[in-house]
Structure 1
Amino acid sequence: MDILRRNTDYALRLAVNLAGRYGDGSVSTRALSDEEDVSYQLACKLMQRLHKEGLVESDMGPKGGFRLARPPQEVPILAIIEAIQGPLRLNRCLLGDGACQRQDGCPIRARIGRLQEQMDQYLGAVTLGELAQSRRPAQKSTRRRRRK
C-alpha cells in the first residue's frame, strides 16, 4: 500500500513545475502535462482540484493557464497532498475521536500518534520552493500515450 497515491505524486510534480516558474506568468495545462509526463485529462483534473483549494490561480484564454497562488517557499507539500487525497493518516484510529472503540489507553495509538506528528511536521516544513531548487529535468517516459 502506498501512503502517497499516484495522483498525489502527479500533482506534486505539476506543482513543483509551477514553483520552478514562479513569477514567469501562467503555464498551460498542456505544457505541464507534457513536461511532467502526466496525461492531459488527469493534469486538468488535478489542476482544477488545486485551484479549488486555493493553491493555484488560473487565467482564461489562449495565453491562459495556471500559476501558484503564493510564493513557492510558502507552500508546504502537505498542502498539495491534502488537497488531492485528504488527510494523510498512518492509521484510521488517528482520524479523530470515535474512529476506534479502543483508542482510550491504547499503547499502539500513542506510538503511531507520535510518528504521525513527526510526519506532519516534516511534510509541513518541506516547501515547493525547496523541491523546485533541487529539481532535475524530467526523464521522458518511453511508453506511448494516446492523445485526444
Structure 2
Amino acid sequence: MRLEVTRRSDLAIRALLALHASADRSKATTLAEEVGTTKGFLTQVMNPLVQQGWVRSDPGPTGGYASAFDPDEVSVLTVIQAIEGPVDTGRCVLEDRACAQAGTCALHRPWSRARGHLLDDLGAQTLSSLIEAGPT
C-alpha cells in the first residue's frame, strides 16, 4: 500500500479506543454511533481487528464487540497496516508505481527519509499514548 491513512483506519483506531474504554461488550449499532459511522461500514472495519485478535466478536442477541488487546502493545502503525495493508516503502512519491532506483526523482532522498521518520513515529505511538492524550 502507499503510505496513506483512510477513514477506515481512523474508524478502526477510534473503535479500539472506544472498546477499551468500555467495561462491557458493545453492540455494532451502539459502537457505530459512538465512532460516527454506519453499522455496515463498522462491520467492514472490525473484521481485520477481530482477525488480529484485538477485538472479540460474540454473535447473537447478547453478543457484541469487546476489547481483547493491551493498548501498550498495539501501535498506530500496526492498526493502519491491519486495515490498509503493509506499507510499500518502495513506492514513488510522484506516481503510483515502484520507485526507479536508477534515475530517481529529486524528491527521492528527502521523501524516503521523511517516510522513514513517519513510520518510526507511527510505530512508536501506542494506543495507550492516544488514550493518555485524550480526545482531540
Q: TM-score range by the shorter chain?
A: 0.7 to 0.9
Aligned counterpart, 1:5: 6
RMSD (Å) for aligned C-alpha atoms: 2.7
1:38-95 Cα deviation digits (max 9, x unpaired): 111101111112112333222223232222332111111111111111234577248x
SS of the equivalent of 2:107 reads helix
The two structures have a TM-score, normalised by structure 2, of 0.77
The Cα of 1:5 is off from its aligned counterpart by: 1.1
Q: Which runs of 5+ in 2 are unaligned?
A: none
Paired with 1:26 and 1:128, the residues of 2 have a C-alpha distance of 19
SS of the equivalent of 2:65 reads strand
Aligned counterpart, 2:101: 103
Aligned counterpart, 1:14: 15
SS of the equivalent of 2:57 reads strand
The AA in structure 2 aligned to 1:45 is: Q
Moved more, 115-124 or 83-92: 83-92
The AA in structure 1 aligned to 2:4 is: I
Paired with 2:132 and 2:26, the residues of 1 have a C-alpha distance of 18
The AA in structure 2 aligned to 1:131 is: L
Paired with 1:134 and 1:78, the residues of 2 have a C-alpha distance of 17
Paired with 2:14 and 2:43, the residues of 1 have a C-alpha distance of 13
Are the structure 2 counterparts of residues 64 and 135 from structure 1 closer, same or farther at C-alpha, using a change threshold of 3 Å? farther
Overall identity of the aligned pairs, in %:
31
Mapped contact 2:72–2:126 kept (Cα < 8 A):
yes
Q: What is the number of residues matched between the two proteins?
A: 130
1:56 equivalent in alignment to 2:80 = no
Q: Which runs of 5+ in 1 are unaligned?
A: 139-148
Are the structure 2 counterparts of residues 124 and 58 from structure 1 closer, same or farther at C-alpha, using a change threshold of 3 Å? same
Paired with 1:8 and 1:47, the residues of 2 have a C-alpha distance of 10
The AA in structure 2 aligned to 1:13 is: R
